[in-house]
Chain A
Amino acid sequence: MSKANNEVIIEGRGLKRYYHRGIETVKALDGVDITIRKGEMVSILGPSGSGKTTLINILSCLDAPTDGTLNVAGKPVAGLKEDDLVEIRRGNLGFVFQQFHLLPTLTVTENVELPLLFLGKKPDPVHTREVLAMVGLSDRATHLPSELSGGQMQRVAIARALIIDSKILVADEPTGNLDRVSGEAIFQLFKKLVNEKGLAIIITTHNMAFGYEADRVITLEDGKIVKEERPPGKAQVG
């Protein structure tokens, strides 16, 4: 049972992202309206090139929309430059990627505590241990990423998002490089975080089975939302 409530944490209206290649204009995102609430897990499905990653990049303030309005954690985002976008990401957003993207020279603990360095906060070893325990990596604290399995590396990335008490976790194809068992474990962890910590989690995935584990499923095609559904048994919120 998710802890979803009415508090809107991301709201986008008429989001567009156009790229220009010579005289051609690529409409990666073409007028998307989307609302994400706290304590809600939302899957974004769609074929390759449908605009999933573009949408998730914009919702997570890694990129800015060409047009439309966007509010993230209560702050307007549209039209901001990178220097301003980073201020919204700091402390609000955590990221999980298909390629894991851990720093290979840092241990699990150091990777997890890395965002604190950029926030200028001194790590609290007790908090770090709690976060590692939550993702089931207590016994891997001093290991390097090269000594971990894919599933474990993905858990480190999740712990890295939790260490700063992110409100939003953005996961771009988080199970793309994992076997089915590890993928399921990651999704179970996502559910646990939504339920216990009230995180908003946005996931892009090709895997329909995993996608339908979410509270809400949005399907994109050619940069537009073509379907928005609530899997059976998931209560409507908001």
Chain B
Amino acid sequence: MYQLLGFAALAIKNLRRRVVRTVLTVAGVGLAVAVAVSLGGFMLGYREAINKSIEMLGFQVMIMAKGCPYEAATMMLKGGTGLLYLPGDTLDKVKNDPDIASITPVFVGVAQKEGSGIRDDGAPGATKDKSFTIISGIDAPSFVTMKPWLKFKGGAGYEGGRWFGAASKSEVVIGFEAAEYEQRKVGDTFYASITPNGATMPVRHEFKVVGVLERTGTQDDGTVFMPIDAAREFFNRPNQVTILGIKLKEFNQFKMREFENRWLKLPEVQVVGLQQVKNTLVGLVATAQTMIAAVAVIAVIVALIGVINTILMSVYERTGEIGIMKALGARRSDIFELIWLETLMICLFGALVGSLVAVIGTGVVERAIKSLANLGVSGSIVQITPGVIGYAILGAVILGFFGGLYPAWRAASMRPVDAIREGAA
């Protein structure tokens, strides 16, 4: 142990001898590790965000109008326009299916907030200036059965939060973020301009806020809820629904397939299992993740070459010293251990620095990814856990383990008499 500590101290002194070179090499490793940690955090975070978002939908299956299932699912998870609607009788046809445990209809529309124009979801800046708001027309009792975690916010200004009556046309419940953004509390007035189907000009409506929901970390936070009948009327889409959210009595692949086959006979309907949505969303970013992983691998290889180069240069510069150490009784294994330790230390320092940079830069990475792509989920998509950092550090140490082999072998193989002569030259 004393010997190992002694070698470690000697290795640190050697690394400090050429501070700039060591710092640059550590920075190279750090950069590679930061990319790897961020990527790992993104992979983990994104999967968890999808899982959470889908779980928090409360449904296992959605019935919706035929179209792109990904877009439909994204709309439900994250909001959007370009909505397709189911015929009003779909609910009546489906609701008596023997495998259904519970079903809730949801009507989604997009309203213009006071003083702003309706913007298409894909329009530049649409989500930045929050010029639209998502209106979700729901059947409160069945909706809450699906999402038992929905709770009303308490505290000053939020007392007495409740769901609206089914027949009400002037009451809304607002999600946490929407309320924060609009600065609305229970009892406040909320204005929304809705363009009815077939009309060109929006109609201004005044609502009373009867409840503000606690944060859920999902799209519900940014949604304004109202009774489904009222929403249908304001949007001039009587009896239509956007989706039917369904929980099956028994949910497995077999039952899901049976259910799907039963209702695919309806010409305008598609049945989407949320597992399928999850797979679609994960697949969507898989290509991007592969590309980022390729960049990370290249960064790691470049860093490794840098480490080997640095240690080799250091070995060549210290040829004479290595010869002297061997003359003084250092065995081949001692020299090997010393040079190897230097490599491992560079990789370890680099891994620690890189992990720190990745942790500090999580917010930046998250914003960058979200600005580049619509990933279909809300909430945090980069999760740098101790596990991710642990794997990155372990990976860097393993790379150092292998990267240090050649320089260490090279140093250990020097004949002392030659090394001393070369060092003196």
Are both chains from one complex? Answer: yes
Number of interface residues of A (CB under 8 A): 29
Is A103 at the interface (CB under 8 A from chain B)? yes
Is A160 at the interface (CB under 8 A from chain B)? yes
> In the complex, A62 Cα to B421 Cα: how many Å?
11
Checking B17, B324, B331, B416 against A105 with a beta-carbon cut-off of 8 angstroms, the contacting residue is B17
Q: CB-CB contacts of B295-327 with A at 8 A, as 1s and 0s? A: 000000000000000000000000011011111
Chain B nearest CB, measured from A158 CB (Å) = 13
Checking A101, A105, A160 against B14 with a beta-carbon cut-off of 8 angstroms, the contacting residue is A105
Could you say which residues of chain A place their CB within 8 Å of the CB of B3?
A: 117, 120
Is A35 at the interface (CB under 8 A from chain B)? no
Are B417 and A95 in contact, CB atoms less than 8 angstroms apart?
Answer: no
Binds B, one of A39-47, A84-92, A188-196, A204-212: A84-92
With A82-B326, A95-B327, A160-B328 given, can you name 18 additional A-B contacts, CB distance below 8 Å? A63-B417, A83-B332, A86-B329, A86-B332, A89-B329, A95-B328, A99-B423, A101-B420, A101-B423, A101-B424, A103-B324, A105-B14, A106-B10, A115-B328, A117-B7, A118-B328, A118-B329, A118-B334
Is A20 at the interface (CB under 8 A from chain B)? no
Is A126 at the interface (CB under 8 A from chain B)? no
Chain B nearest CB, measured from A92 CB (Å) = 9
Identify whether the interface residues of B are mostly helix, strand, loop, or mixed.
helix
Could you say which residues of chain A place their CB within 8 Å of the CB of B330?
A: 86, 118
Is B2 at the interface (CB under 8 A from chain A)? yes
> In the complex, A8 Cα to B417 Cα: how many Å?
25
Q: CB-CB contacts of B390-408 with A at 8 A, as 1s and 0s? A: 0000000000000000000
Are A106 and B13 in contact, CB atoms less than 8 angstroms apart?
Answer: yes
What residue in chain B is nearest A105 (Cβ atoms)? B13
Chain B nearest CB, measured from A78 CB (Å) = 16
> In the complex, A81 Cα to B162 Cα: how many Å?
89
Could you say which residues of chain B place their CB within 8 Å of the CB of A164?
A: 329
Q: Interface centre among A62, A95, A104, by most B CB within 10 Å?
A: A62
Could you say which residues of chain A place their CB within 8 Å of the CB of B14?
A: 105
Q: CB-CB contacts of B1-30 with A at 8 A, as 1s and 0s? A: 011001100100110110000000000000
Are A62 and B329 in contact, CB atoms less than 8 angstroms apart?
Answer: no
> In the complex, A77 Cα to B312 Cα: how many Å?
32
Is A119 at the interface (CB under 8 A from chain B)? yes
> In the complex, A88 Cα to B279 Cα: how many Å?
68
Are A91 and B329 in contact, CB atoms less than 8 angstroms apart?
Answer: yes
Are A115 and B320 in contact, CB atoms less than 8 angstroms apart?
Answer: no
Q: CB-CB contacts of A8-46 with B at 8 A, as 1s and 0s? A: 000000000000000000000000000000000000000
Closest A-B pairs by Cβ, 9 of them: A90-B329, A105-B13, A118-B329, A118-B330, A117-B6, A62-B417, A115-B328, A101-B324, A63-B417
Is A114 at the interface (CB under 8 A from chain B)? yes
> In the complex, A79 Cα to B325 Cα: how many Å?
22
Q: CB-CB contacts of A125-167 with B at 8 A, as 1s and 0s? A: 0000000000000000000000000000000000010001000
With A62-B416, A117-B6, A117-B10 in contact, do A97 and B329 touch (Cβ < 8 Å)? no
Checking A60, A93, A97, A114 against B325 with a beta-carbon cut-off of 8 angstroms, the contacting residue is A114
> In the complex, A110 Cα to B417 Cα: how many Å?
23
Chain B nearest CB, measured from A147 CB (Å) = 16
Chain A nearest CB, measured from B337 CB (Å) = 11
Is B415 at the interface (CB under 8 A from chain A)? yes
From 343 to 380 in chain B, residues with beta carbon under 8 angstroms from any chain A beta carbon are none
Are A82 and B16 in contact, CB atoms less than 8 angstroms apart?
Answer: no
With A62-B327, A86-B329 in contact, do A97 and B13 touch (Cβ < 8 Å)? no
> In the complex, A114 Cα to B323 Cα: how many Å?
13
Residues of B within 8 A of A (CB): 2-3, 6-7, 10, 13-14, 16-17, 320-321, 323-332, 334, 415-417, 420, 423-424
Residues of A within 8 A of B (CB): 57, 60, 62-63, 82-83, 86, 89-91, 93, 95, 97-99, 101, 103-106, 114-115, 117-120, 122, 160, 164
Could you say which residues of chain B place their CB within 8 Å of the CB of A120?
A: 2-3
Q: Interface centre among B2, B13, B327, B424, by most A CB within 10 Å?
A: B327
Could you say which residues of chain B place their CB within 8 Å of the CB of A91?
A: 329
> In the complex, A93 Cα to B424 Cα: how many Å?
20
Chain B nearest CB, measured from A77 CB (Å) = 14
Could you say which residues of chain B place their CB within 8 Å of the CB of A105?
A: 13-14, 16-17
Are A97 and B420 in contact, CB atoms less than 8 angstroms apart?
Answer: yes
Are A83 and B331 in contact, CB atoms less than 8 angstroms apart?
Answer: yes
Chain B nearest CB, measured from A49 CB (Å) = 14
> In the complex, A122 Cα to B329 Cα: how many Å?
15
* Subset of 19 A-B contacts with CB under 8 Å: A62-B416, A63-B415, A86-B326, A86-B330, A86-B331, A89-B327, A97-B420, A101-B321, A101-B420, A101-B423, A105-B14, A105-B17, A115-B328, A117-B10, A118-B325, A118-B329, A118-B331, A120-B2, A164-B329
Are B420 and A62 in contact, CB atoms less than 8 angstroms apart?
Answer: yes
What residue in chain B is nearest A54 (Cβ atoms)? B417
Chain B nearest CB, measured from A142 CB (Å) = 14
Could you say which residues of chain B place their CB within 8 Å of the CB of A95?
A: 324, 327-328
Are B415 and A82 in contact, CB atoms less than 8 angstroms apart?
Answer: yes
Chain A nearest CB, measured from B8 CB (Å) = 11
Could you say which residues of chain A place their CB within 8 Å of the CB of B323?
A: 101
